[in-house]
């Protein structure tokens, strides 16, 4: 062990512990409502909760894909891939 946190340290009983895979948990509705508030928008908490749940599931799916960008990959590479 070199001190690097690993997913196994996640506390299954603590929904706010994000040491492992991303999953819905307490407080993410507040984060979403806060993001909107930073932009001057008011978001009802029930709507924020629904958006948070969707986002967490979406991020989990996307980040679990076996295809992931490399360190040097950047958005402009799409235009190169078109050629």
Angle at 29 between CA 14 and CA 10, to 5 degrees: 20
Among residues 2, 6, 26, 62, the one that binds another protein under rule CB under 8 A = 62
Distance separating alpha carbons of residues 36 and 48, to the nearest angstrom: 9
Residue closer to another protein by CB (options 10, 30) is 30
Distance from chain centroid for Cα 36: 16
9 binds another protein (CB under 8 A): no
Question: For residue 39, what is the DSSP state?
Answer: T
* Positions that interact with another protein (CB under 8 A): 31-32, 35-36, 39-41, 43, 47-48, 50-52, 54-55, 58-59, 61-63, 65-69, 73-83
């Amino acid at each position: 062990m070199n001190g690097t946190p690993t997913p196994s340290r996640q506390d299954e009983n603590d929904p706010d512990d994000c040491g492992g895979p991303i999953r819905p948990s307490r407080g993410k509705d507040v984060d979403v409502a806060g993001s909107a508030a930073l932009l001057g928008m008011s978001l009802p908490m029930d709507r924020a909760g629904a958006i948070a749940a969707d986002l967490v599931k979406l991020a989990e799916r996307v980040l679990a894909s076996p295809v992931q960008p490399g360190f040097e990959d950047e958005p402009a590479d799409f235009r190169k891939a078109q050629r």
